[in-house]
Structure 1
Amino acid sequence: MASSTRDGDSHEEEIRLWREDDWWIARDVETGVTTQGPSRETALANLDEAVALHNDEIGREPTDKELREMGIDPADNTTGDQAPPDVLE
């Protein structure tokens, strides 16, 4: 497994990259966000996008209209008091 650190403007970032079978796995150590790809470049590009989503730097919540177009009732689009599934923690 390879790991790398670099000094950013405000903090140090560390990623880890390793291969499992035919897939490359990339993890942002600070956030715990992990992605994969068939190549190193793809795994790292996927990680960049996933970390940006995690940090609310890209993406947005769907509108009620978009939810309805996908067959989802916006009133049912809540987790309520339920804890998210383990996979989402």
Structure 2
Amino acid sequence: MASSTRNGEPHEEEIRLWREDDWWVAKDVETGVTSQGESRAAALDNLDEAVALHEGEIGREPTDEELRELGIDPEDNTTDDGAPPDVLN
């Protein structure tokens, strides 16, 4: 397992990679972010992007105009503070 620092603090980075049927699944253990791909390399590339999105390193919030173009009322585009459904736990 590799050791590195994040924000000046040491931490362990661990990625788990396994095959499910025709797909490779990759999980970043620290963040809990999981992605998949048709090859090991694709799963890891997708995981890198998903973790960067999770960490706010890439991506952005959609504008109200973009939401309206997709038929979404910005007033209804809120995050629920309640517990996630059991299937997501």
| Sequence identity percentage | 75
Deviates more, 1:23-32 or 1:8-17: 8-17
Unaligned ranges ≥5, structure 2 = none
Question: So what's the TM-score if we normalise by structure 1?
Answer: 0.81
- Structure 1 residue aligned with 2:51: 51
Matches within 5 A, 1:1-89: 5-10=1-6, 11-79=11-79, 82-86=82-86
Scaled by the length of structure 2, what TM-score is found?
0.81
Aligned residues: 85
Q: Which letter does structure 1 place at the counterpart of 2:4?
A: G
Cα deviation, residue 45, structure 1: 0.3
C-alpha spacing 1:65/1:39, structure 2 compared with 1 (3 Å): same
- How far did residue 84 of structure 1 move? 4.3
Aligned-pair RMSD on alpha carbons?
Answer: 1.9
Q: Distance in 1 between matches of 2:3 and 2:84?
A: 34
What is the Cα deviation at residue 8 of structure 1?
2.2
